[in-house]
Amino acid sequence: MKRLSLLLATIAFPLHADEHVFFSFDDHAIPFRDNVAVTPVTAEKHPANPVLRRGPEGAPDHGHAILYGTVLKLEGKFRMWYLGMFETEIKAGQAPGWWRPMCYAESEDGVTWTKPDLGLVEFNGNKQNNICLIESEVPSLAKVNDFLSILHEPEDPDPSRRFKCVYIAHPPFEEVRGGRSGIGPNERRWGAFIAATSADGLTWKVIGDRPMNAGNERFEVSGLYRFGNFYYAPGQLLSPWAWRMDGSDVGRVTLSYRSPDFVNWSRAKAFAFARPGQLTSEPIKGQQGHMGAGLWNRGNVIVGLNGLWQDAAEKPVDGKYWNQGVAVDLGLIVSNDGIHFREPFPDHKVIPRGKPGEWDDVAILQGHAFVNEGDKTMIWYSHWDTGGKLKDMEIGLATLRRDGFAYLSRKVPDSPAHVVTTTFEAGEGEKIFANVEGVSETAPLRVELLDDFDRPLAEFSGDKAGKVVLSGARSVVDFPQGSLPAGRPIALKITLPDEAEAKLYAIYLSTE
């Protein structure tokens, strides 16, 4: 299938892209808008939450099971990689021994999970557990401490690299090879960015004998994706290791390394994302982002969830748990170039933390955990007890209408409304689909094709425009002319029906 390529852009598509998505909230993909407004949607939490609970005493996830991790659906099965912890108390602010093992679970429906005995890692005197094996020339680099991100690339010609992973380790200073320039004040451990590969996602080998950020400052890597010619590894830093454009201090923001081959990573980092209140002339007190973002690569666009961190009004008197009282909800972010992210709806909560007394009532954590299943988007997340008691630190599920993060609708009643997309080229056999509600035979959504000078194409406009008459998450746009013109620059003009209050969630270009 010939892949779509955006004009006036220098990025190339990742190998796994199979469609182009215009989300209603993406004002870069749909920049021209007349009389429309976009309404964000809050996900619905599953009644069975938490769907993956910590294990029994003696299990590697007895202390907690948190989705500093990834969920993928592969060959009809949901697969989850998450972080366990075998103690029931936090010591020195972290997991004992700086090790939170990479644990693995499987599910047929994404709700009921099993933890298979992998037989790979000895723990408590036996190998009957669900810990994945990580091998390294330097043993301390194989101990995951924080955020773990999995990428599956079945098209990689090297079978041993078809699963790729990045995570945070905390090796002792003396074991970090390659230099440690830029260490900040009061460091107790090295924040190491580790990369590993695997043939099956269960047995992993660390790349090289040093962190990917050796020779640079600490880095809390929290993501991995491929976009265009590069792999990107975004992560969290704050001052003194990160700063605003003018050099002034900033709280937790997202910076990103890149690599053309997953082995050699840039020393320079891109400033990928900060919450709007962090960049105002007088920053909003206590507003930060948390652990980069859980990301979903949709081929031409990346969407994700960022932790909406807000400091506690007052620090705990005893100072034992510095983050006690911190609140974190999950908000939407989007990127069109794989480098720079933005909040389309500042402070909107796609998944809010629970109400007082609910299992997820303190703060919540995002994962790279998005799957479109039928007419639903499934999103997994977990609870974080910022008071350090490990209360209910388990994994939940929330759902939306398929790709239903937000919808576009008419702003002023009884007045025409339309939008125009960026210019693109369609491949042979590709069709347009709409994720839309509130249309019918008498009130269709109309789609016309424009050339790269904003002029209607006669054979695809006016009475020959495409129409959508059936509401649904993937309704085909029927053009009387039939197939789209391939290999030439076109844009979409999408007009909402005058006779109904339609809601447009997304537009797709695909052969499927």
Map out the domains of the chain as residue ranges: 5-40+407-510, 44-274+363-402
CA nearest 153: which of 96, 66, 227? 227
CA distance 445 to 435: 11
With respect to CATH, is domain 5-40+407-510 assigned 2.60.120.260? yes
Looking at residue 10, what is its pLDDT? 28
* 8 A C-beta contact, residue 484 and residue 429: no
Given a contact cutoff of 8 angstroms between Cβ atoms, the answer to whether 425 and 489 are in contact is yes
Instruction: Characterize 143-152 residue by residue with b for buried, 16 or more Cβ atoms within 10 angstroms of its Cβ, and e for exposed.
Output: bbbbbbbbbb
Helix (H) or strand (E) holding 336: none
pLDDT tens digits for range 207-240: 999 999 977 778 999 999 999 999 999 999 999 8
Q: Cβ–Cβ contacts within 10 Å for residue 469, how many?
A: 14
Q: What is the largest CA-CA distance in the chain?
A: 74
CB 331 within 8 A of CB 306: yes
CA proximity to 312, closest of 298, 325, 321: 325
Architecture label for domain 44-274+363-402: 5 Propeller (2.115)
What's residue 507's pLDDT?
A: 98
Q: What pLDDT is attached to residue 479?
A: 94
Residues β-bridged to residue 398: 45, 379
The pLDDT tens digits of the residues spanning 70-101 come to 999 999 999 999 999 987 766 655 554 568 99
What's residue 470's pLDDT?
A: 96
Please list the residues that pair with 195 across neighbouring strands: 166
List 498's β-bridge partners, or say none: none
Dump strand ranges (E) for 199-301.
203-206, 220-221, 225-227, 230-237, 253-259, 270-273, 287-297
List, for the chain, all residue ranges whose pLDDT scores fall below the cut of 70: 1-17, 89-98, 178-189, 316-322
Cα–Cα distance for residue pair 51/28, rounded to 1 Å:
36
* pLDDT at site 28: 98
Question: How many Cα atoms sit within 13 Å of 95 on the Cβ side?
Answer: 24
Helix or strand run (H / E) with residue 265: none
